[in-house]
Amino acid sequence: MKRPTIAVFFALFLVSVICAVFAGCATSNKKQTPNTPSNELKEEEKKPETMRVALYFLKDTGTDLYLVREEHTIPKTTQVAKTAVEQLINGRPVTENAFKVLPKGTKVLGISINNGLATVDFTREVLEANVGSSGEALGIQSIVNTLTEFPAINKVAFKVEGKLDERAKDWWGHVGLYEQPFTRDLSNVREPAIWVTTPKPGNEVSSPLTVRGSAMVFEAVVSMRIVTKDGQKIAQANTMAAGGAPLRGDFNTGMSFKAPASVKEGYLEVYWASPKDGSDLDLVKIPIKFKK
């Protein structure tokens, strides 16, 4: 028997190398790591967009009944007014002792908006609430205040399954719908003491910064400051709300400031000063970005 020559060994070696290379290529083509850029992009695309809406719920302290304002995160939608009212039905208040007044099972058939008037069409389940005269008035106002947070709406009226018959006009048996439409009324909103509507969290801001909101504070004096993320105060101001506690009033002012050169982010802090020791009370902290 002849021994294999060196040439034969070399030929076999080349064949084995070529097979290994092709096998490796085939394996690599079948595999796709979970951290490839395309997969990361798909994950980002799947992440749902959200938005914030202001909702008004009732609160019972045992001795008093009033409204509270809460900001809730909802999926981003073009039907934001309808979704906000649906949150009053199906959402969960976060304020202690706060509750919903719209009956479970109520559906919003639609909301039409025309010349600032929003007309909400409910199913007949809406008529099943049993909340007493005070709760009825505040329950209506909870819907009205929620909808008039949107700039396009300044009045609200209700229908039940497309019409306003005598049963619908009686509504929950006390206030009723005889003097529609309803307008915005914050006089019975006790919590929070301060809220800010402008700027929104994360807004990029420049000087002068417009600050808008609502306050129910001692002698109507609202204080505010701009601080950098590392705690450096770069502006301080006071303004007056339209009314002082126990009344609530809107405020609207401008703050001049010099944006820091080395810090990109900071906070707008709005509060009222304690008449006893000057400490910050009911502080609201809004994250902002400085425009360069």
Q: Are 186 and 197 in contact (CB under 8 A)?
A: no
Q: What pLDDT score does 290 carry? A: 96
Mean pLDDT over 40-55 rounds to 76
Decide if pLDDT at 62 tops 60: yes
Instruction: For residue 38, name the pLDDT band (cuts at 50, 70, 90).
Output: low
The reported pTM is 0.81
Q: What pLDDT score does 94 carry? A: 97
Q: What pLDDT score does 261 carry? A: 87
Alpha-carbon torsion angle 276, 279, 283, 289, nearest 10: 150
Q: Hey, what CATH topology would domain 193-290 get?
A: Immunoglobulin-like (2.60.40)
Burial of 62 (0-12, 13-18, 19+ CB in 10 A): exposed
Q: Are strands 117-122 and 108-114 parallel, antiparallel or unpaired?
A: antiparallel
Q: What pLDDT score does 132 carry? A: 86
Task: Name the nearest CA neighbour of 188 among 19, 58, 286.
Answer: 58
- Coil, strand, or helix at residue 283? strand
Q: Are 152 and 161 in contact (CB under 8 A)?
A: no
Task: Name the nearest CA neighbour of 81 among 106, 41, 108.
Answer: 108
User: Looking at the chain, how many residues does it have?
Assistant: 292
| Sign of the alpha-carbon torsion through 245, 61, 135, 122 | positive
d(CA 60, CA 102): 15
d(CA 81, CA 72): 13
Question: Which H/E stretch holds residue 59?
Answer: strand 50-60
Q: Map out the domains of the chain as residue ranges.
A: 50-189, 193-290
- Coil, strand, or helix at residue 140? helix
Q: What pLDDT score does 48 carry? A: 81
Mean pLDDT over 268-284 rounds to 97
Decide if pLDDT at 32 tops 70: no
Mean pLDDT over 65-86 rounds to 96
Mean pLDDT over 252-263 rounds to 93
What is the pLDDT of the chain when averaged over all its residues?
Answer: 89
Q: How many CB atoms lie within 10 A of CB 64?
A: 10
Decide if pLDDT at 288 tops 50: yes
How far is CA 229 from each of CA 47, 172, 232, 273, 288, rounded to the nearest angstrom? 28, 50, 7, 22, 9
Task: Name the nearest CA neighbour of 74 among 96, 101, 54.
Answer: 54
Decide if pLDDT at 13 tops 70: no
Decide if pLDDT at 24 tops 60: no
Mean pLDDT over 49-68 rounds to 96
Q: What pLDDT score does 84 carry? A: 97
Decide if pLDDT at 33 tops 60: no
Each residue's pLDDT tens digit, 145-193: 999 999 999 999 999 999 999 999 999 998 999 999 999 999 999 999 9
Task: Name the nearest CA neighbour of 194 among 154, 239, 156.
Answer: 239
Q: What pLDDT score does 30 carry? A: 46
DSSP assigned state of 21: H
